[in-house]
Amino acid sequence: MQIALWLVSLLTNVLLLTAFFIFVAKRGGLAYLSKKLQQVSHPDPNEDFSHVPFYVHRLSQFELLAIKPSDIVLLGDSLTNEGEWAEFLSASVKNRAISGDTTAGLLQRLEPIVQAKPHKVFLMIGINDIIRGVRIEQIVQNYTTILTRFRTDSPSTRVYVQSLLPVGDRRYCQKMRSTILEVNQVLPTLAQQFDYQYIDLYPQFTNPQGGLDPQYSQDELHLNGKAYDRWRQLIQEFVVS
């Protein structure tokens, strides 16, 4: 019986390794693997998203949908992308977030949004930078460039800089949490430099241990309906003012 189980385990591992090598071979072999390892150890702050189907498809929709000067635009990553904001807030809200986006990715697609000169912009971006290991200095630099673009080319737009949200309590989240807090320490000063409003959402979503409250998430990162309703309550006054 033990020999049979050992053979099954061995066969399973062989099949998994074979599948892995086939996967790598189809994508360029060692060159592909080397590139991926390089991205993990030295993340590119200007990573190109043109090869990511979801990103490209969503961006292609934005290119067909105009933003009016009276609109309120939400910018960010999956945390914003997954919210039904037009129903939570109002029909004049345009969700221009893309899951997986980074500060560098947002910069690359910012031009048409700035040129549309929307009434208000709510910004939350950076968690994917942290996950990818982008340096805090680079994140802050990208934030500064984003805010500079609005202040320079769309001075009438009222920008609301939202804090990053907490993540869960698991061990792999601990380093992320400390980096999130470091970024959040910089954002209020950065917003003030541009005369923009800072909204500190972070403490409203934490549990007693400082992590993302389980009532708001199933995976310790993304949000459920209760979390979005809470988020709505926290920014409602800035939306209608």
Full-model pTM: 0.81
96, 74 contact by CB (below 8 A): yes
Burial tier of 20 (Cβ tally within 10 Å: 0-12, 13-18, 19+): exposed
Please give the pLDDT value at position 20: 66
> What average pLDDT does the chain have?
89
Please give the pLDDT value at position 171: 76
Task: For residue 152, give Cα distances in angstroms to 149, 186, 190.
Answer: 5, 21, 15
Statement: residue 40 has pLDDT above 90: no
Residue bearing tokens 């060692």: 30
Query: What single letter denotes the amino acid at residue 239?
Result: V
Q: 161 in helix, strand or coil?
A: strand
38 confidence band (pLDDT: 50, 70, 90): very low
42 confidence band (pLDDT: 50, 70, 90): very low
Q: Residues 6-30: what's their mean pLDDT?
A: 62
Task: Count CA atoms closer than 13 A to 23's CA, side-chain side.
Answer: 7
Interval 78-108: pLDDT, tens = 999 999 999 999 889 999 999 999 999 999 9
34 confidence band (pLDDT: 50, 70, 90): very low
DSSP states of 49-80: -TT-HHHHHHHHHHTTS---TT-EEEEESHHH
Interval 165-218: pLDDT, tens = 999 988 778 889 999 999 999 999 999 999 999 999 999 999 999 999 999 999
- 39-61: burial string, b at 16+ Cβ within 10 Å, e else: eeeebebebebeebeebeebbee
Q: 160 in helix, strand or coil?
A: strand
Percent of the chain exceeding pLDDT 70 equals 81
Rounded to an integer, what distance in angstroms lies between the CA atom of residue 130 and that of residue 183? 9
Please give the pLDDT value at position 163: 99
Statement: residue 24 has pLDDT above 70: no
39 confidence band (pLDDT: 50, 70, 90): very low
Percent of the chain exceeding pLDDT 90 equals 75
